[in-house]
């Protein structure tokens, strides 16, 4: 990684390693985030699952209105 003069202060969950990272450590393609703190980044997969379920529910509601 290059030395960024304005490093990202966020917390990330690395999907490849399963580790929480602070700032730009891993490759962007492998990261979820940024999150405001370590504890939230540790819940990244749960947060993603909850958001997917909410989006799926909204899609079902939208599609049922078309009937």
Local confidence pLDDT in tens for the 67 residues of the chain: 456 666 678 999 999 999 999 987 889 999 999 999 999 999 999 999 999 999 999 999 999 975 5
Residue pair 20/41 in contact (Cβ under 8 Å)? The answer is yes
The SS3 assignment for 29 reads helix
Euclidean distance between CA atoms 15 and 66, whole angstroms = 37
At 67 the pLDDT is 55
- Cis peptide leading into residue 34 (ω within 30°): yes
In the chain, where the domains are located: 11-65
CB 1 within 8 A of CB 24: yes
């Amino acid at each position: 990684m290059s030395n960024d003069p304005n490093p990202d202060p966020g917390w990330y969950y690395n999907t490849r390693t399963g580790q929480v990272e602070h700032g730009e450590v891993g490759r962007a393609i492998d990261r979820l985030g940024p999150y405001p703190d370590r504890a939230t980044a540790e819940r990244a997969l749960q947060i993603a699952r909850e958001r997917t379920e909410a989006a799926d529910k909204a899609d079902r509601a939208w599609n049922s209105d078309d009937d």
